[in-house]
A and B are shown apart, each in its own frame.
Chain A
Amino acid sequence: MTTTAADRSDAVAGSRAPGQRAREGRGVATTAHIALILWSLLVILPLVWTLLSSFKTSQEVLGNPLSLPSALRFENYANAWTTAGIGRYFLNTVIVVGSALVLVMILGAMCAYVLARFTFPGNRLIYYSMLAGLTFPVFLAIVPLFFVLKNLALLNTLPGLIITYVAFALPFTVFFLHSFFKALPGEIYEAAQIDGAGEWRTFFSVMLPMAKPGMASVAIFNFLGLWNQFLLPVALNTDSKNYVLSQGMASFASQAGYAVDFGALFAAVVITVAPVLVVYIIFQRQLQVSVTAGGVK
């Protein structure tokens, strides 16, 4: 597979005329651009249409889907935020996802650190059972989980939802961070010990800061995963004042049927999508790096 510089230059001399190749290259590039532009349009058009529809009245939405809104009706946003409860769901989501994210990052890092850097009986067993936890479908657990939460009086409460989110995000977090902690050189740990740092101190002041790149990647992954979560809240959090955004959106769209305020529905979609899209555009490079780092494993 390796080509030396010598055969390379030989082969280039013997290949087709450079002009012909350049022309062919341009043709391919143009075709590639066209294909990619078509795909991009397929991605963007529904989103643009949603944005435009969010400024329309229900009549306009139902009457002519292709028309531009006759006026920018921001009251749709007000209606979605207050009447449909999107504001409340938004706040709930921020509380639940925020707390779960902080907790799972701390607990996950601690657990991964111990599993990666200490030997004790059962270490492998714990690690592999966490891996198994990653592969089993949540649906299998959902009914018993309902009763676990019920027995702990955590059903339909935000703390109950938070702790469930933490539990189900834990295996992935541990799995991902395990390799980071494993790769840290052992000399650093020993140096910290010699300097008199205890185990706690070593972890928080030395090891954790060194795992920062890994932590950032997992945090992004977990954030998106938790923000997207649908099954757990729908099954375990059925009190409508505790709804998170995803389930609030679903119930808003389904409950009213054809009497739904279409302008407000589209506005609610925009409210849900806009913040993540803005965050994504700002951090897209970092995010794509994390995704490729995490996804290929």
Chain B
Amino acid sequence: MTTTHEAVPGGGPKRSVTRRRRPLTFDRASFMVVFLGLPLVIFVVFVVSPFVQALYYSLTDWSGFSAGQNFVGFDNYVRLFHDDIFLKAVRNNVLLAIVVPIVTIVLALTLATLVTIGGSGTGTVRGLRNSGFYRIVSFFPYVIPAIVIGLIWAQVFTPGSGILDALLTKIGLEQFENYAWLGDARTAMPASMFVMIWGFVGFYMVLFIAAIRGIEPEVFEAARIDGAGRFRSAVSITVPLIRDNVQTAYIYLGIAALDAFVYMQALNPGGGPQNSTLVMPQQLFTTAFTKGQFGYSTAMGVILAAVTMLFALLVFTVNALTGGRERKVKGRR
């Protein structure tokens, strides 16, 4: 992204920035204090310091407002690895981080491809007519607060009053007359995943549409002339050329899936039947603010952060191992 302005000959804001030392006047001093100092103080007090404190608290047995805290080393972590409920939450989170990004990206890519190269016509590859409508509608969920998305779907899934069972019964599937989608351990997780995917697809579809539009049309034309059909073009041209965007999307989506707090709180605040939809953040929240076990819950936070970092690292590694770099260079030409 930054390559464009570096290439401008002789240009370069960098040079003029470092040119000379300016005298320290009141104007300059007050400027630095307010412009840099003020935001930094807020950032350090409310973001940096809590993160740093968390690392320390996770090594203590701090259990309440009045009680003191003892340094217990890694006891909390040892305890976590024997905590069946937390381990269940970790497994649920990992499952979410695998399934939700894959399904979302495949769906978003398919829809984006249909919009950009699904148009009819003989010569050039064309976008679909009236695609603006689909783009606007698909993007709706992005502007709806996640909690509201969860609440709407919780109502849709409710047995008896929800629209899903009513529709399924209407088309002859009587067995779903009073089926509790979120109340059955077999379907609670898939149903929750569906809601998250529903919320994400439109946003990534818009991102991918922009990325595909950024590919030179000649590339598609050349492929078509060589006899590649639309499907072939999508698989062999679009996907490799927007690989970076897919990787970014995968990381964002994975992080969102490792969180999932809002959706799960709306769909099944208690963690679902047999903890089938319980996620780490929910368990952390209850441990901290309901049970008051602050040391133990911050240890959960550290694990969550570690899993998140590990996930991002994994995505980068896989992408690099499968040849992400070379293709990127070729794609950028």
- Chain A residues near B (Cβ < 8 Å): 1-3, 7-8, 11-12, 15, 18, 21-22, 25-26, 28-29, 31-33, 35-37, 39-40, 42-47, 49-50, 53, 61-62, 64-66, 107-108, 110-111, 113-115, 117-119, 126, 129-130, 133, 135-137, 139-148, 163-164, 166-168, 170-171, 174, 179, 182-187, 189-190, 198-200, 203, 224, 227-228, 230-231, 234-235, 245-247, 249-250, 253-254, 262, 265-266, 269, 272-273, 276-277, 279-281, 284, 287-288, 291-292, 295-297
What are 30 A-B interface contacts by the 8 Å CB criterion?
A3-B225, A8-B225, A22-B120, A28-B118, A28-B120, A32-B128, A36-B114, A40-B137, A43-B137, A49-B156, A66-B166, A117-B13, A118-B17, A126-B36, A135-B312, A136-B305, A140-B50, A141-B50, A141-B51, A184-B13, A186-B12, A230-B261, A246-B145, A250-B151, A277-B143, A287-B143, A291-B207, A292-B207, A296-B245, A297-B1
- Chain B residues near A (Cβ < 8 Å): 1-2, 5, 11-13, 15-18, 25, 27-28, 30-32, 34-36, 38-40, 42-43, 45-51, 53-54, 57, 110-111, 114-115, 118-123, 128-129, 131, 133-148, 151-156, 160-163, 165-167, 170, 198, 201-203, 206-207, 210-211, 216, 218-219, 221-222, 225-227, 230, 245, 248, 252, 255, 258-259, 261-262, 265-266, 269, 280-281, 284-285, 288-289, 294, 297-298, 301-302, 304-305, 308-309, 312, 330, 333
Least CB distance, A41 to chain B, in whole angstroms:
9
Q: Which residue of A lies closest to B261 (CB)?
A: A231
Least CB distance, B84 to chain A, in whole angstroms:
21
Is B145 a contact of A272 with CB atoms below 8 Å? Answer: yes
Is A148 a contact of B50 with CB atoms below 8 Å? Answer: yes
Cβ contacts under 8 Å, B131 to chain A: 36
Is A143 a contact of B153 with CB atoms below 8 Å? Answer: no
Q: Given A21-B122, A33-B128, A249-B148, does the pair A136, B51 have CB atoms closer than 8 Å?
A: yes
Nearest first, the 8 A-B pairs at minimum CB distance are: A186-B16, A32-B118, A167-B46, A141-B50, A11-B225, A292-B210, A140-B301, A144-B53
Bound form: Cα–Cα A281–B170 in Å = 34
Q: Which residue of A lies closest to B147 (CB)?
A: A246
Least CB distance, A102 to chain B, in whole angstroms:
14
Bound form: Cα–Cα A75–B170 in Å = 31
Cβ contacts under 8 Å, A137 to chain B: 255, 258-259, 281, 301, 304-305, 308
Is A235 a contact of B222 with CB atoms below 8 Å? Answer: no
Cβ contacts under 8 Å, B46 to chain A: 145, 148, 163-164, 167-168
Is B122 a contact of A22 with CB atoms below 8 Å? Answer: yes
Is A288 a contact of B206 with CB atoms below 8 Å? Answer: yes
Is B39 a contact of A295 with CB atoms below 8 Å? Answer: no
Cβ contacts under 8 Å, B129 to chain A: 29
